[in-house]
Structure formats: C-alpha cells, structure tokens
Amino acid sequence: MTRKVPKTVVFFLAATVLISLLPVTGCGSGNSGGKPKLMSFMGDSSQSAKEMKPVITELEKEYEGKVVFEEIDYDDPANKSILEEYHVTMNPTFIVLNSKGEIKETFMGKAHKEMLTGAIESYIPQDQKAPGTVPSTPGQVQTIPQSDTQGSIPIVPTPNQ
C-alpha cells in the first residue's frame, strides 16, 4: 500500500530547499558588493546622533561609489533584531565592515569625522582612495586632538576576529 503525499507538503519542502540555497542579502547581511561598508545606528532620541547626521552625509558624498552606507534607525522597534545581531547598545554606534562583510571597527558615541575617515580609508583598495589621503593600517587607533571632551569610544577588534 502506498501513501500519497499532499501537494502542499511537497511544495513546502521544495520551497525550503530552494530558500536555503539562496545567498543571504539585505539589511545587516554584510553584503556590500565587494565594497567596505559603514553602518550607522542613529536615532533622534540622542543629541549626539543628531549632531552626527551631517558628518555621515559628508562622508557619503566623499566616498560615493567607494563605500556602502547603511543607516539603521536606532529608535525604531522594527530594528530590534539588527541591533541585537550587531550588539548595538548605544545611540549612535558606527560599524565599519570590510569588503567581505566582516566587522572590523566599531565606534560608540559621537565619533570624530577623522576617526571614521581613517577607519573607512583603511578598507578601501589603494587605487580607489581619495588623493592626498594618508594610508592607515586596519585596526589602527588614530590619535585625535583632545579639544572635544565629548568623544567616541573606538573598539578595535583583536587580530583573530
């Protein structure tokens, strides 16, 4: 005696297999088309985040076509899962990913433009860097003048990450 499998079960199994074969893309996947990525987690509930928006806009213009910029609204409850995925607990937070989608540097709080620029520059291929920029080493913490008492906390990953 043979049992007939309902068509819905067959369809469900086939769809599950096909979905598992698809590459993961979209928000938070790290997929940036072979370019470095700056993820900005900012919300209007933070004055520091509001002050950083024009800085990020400047960077987007300066690195257009060289770096992917993704802004995630820190205050939107719909973004809770991506905040948890990237362990974001401070508004604002900036995460730099290399062209492979690996997290390389994280800045929590109000970051100096120079700090973000240095982090971004270290992951852009040499032939695509802006003229006159100083090459930097990935993971290098840059010294910024201490004229601003409100600063960012750079978190540099260990070499084996």
pTM: 0.64
Return the exposure string of 35-51: e unless at least 16 CB atoms fall within 10 Å of the residue's CB, then b: bbbbbbbbeeebebbee
Residue entry with tokens 């933070």: 46
Over residues 120-144, the pLDDT tens digits come to 999 988 666 555 554 444 444 444 4
Domains (range + CATH), the chain: 37-128 (3.40.30.10)
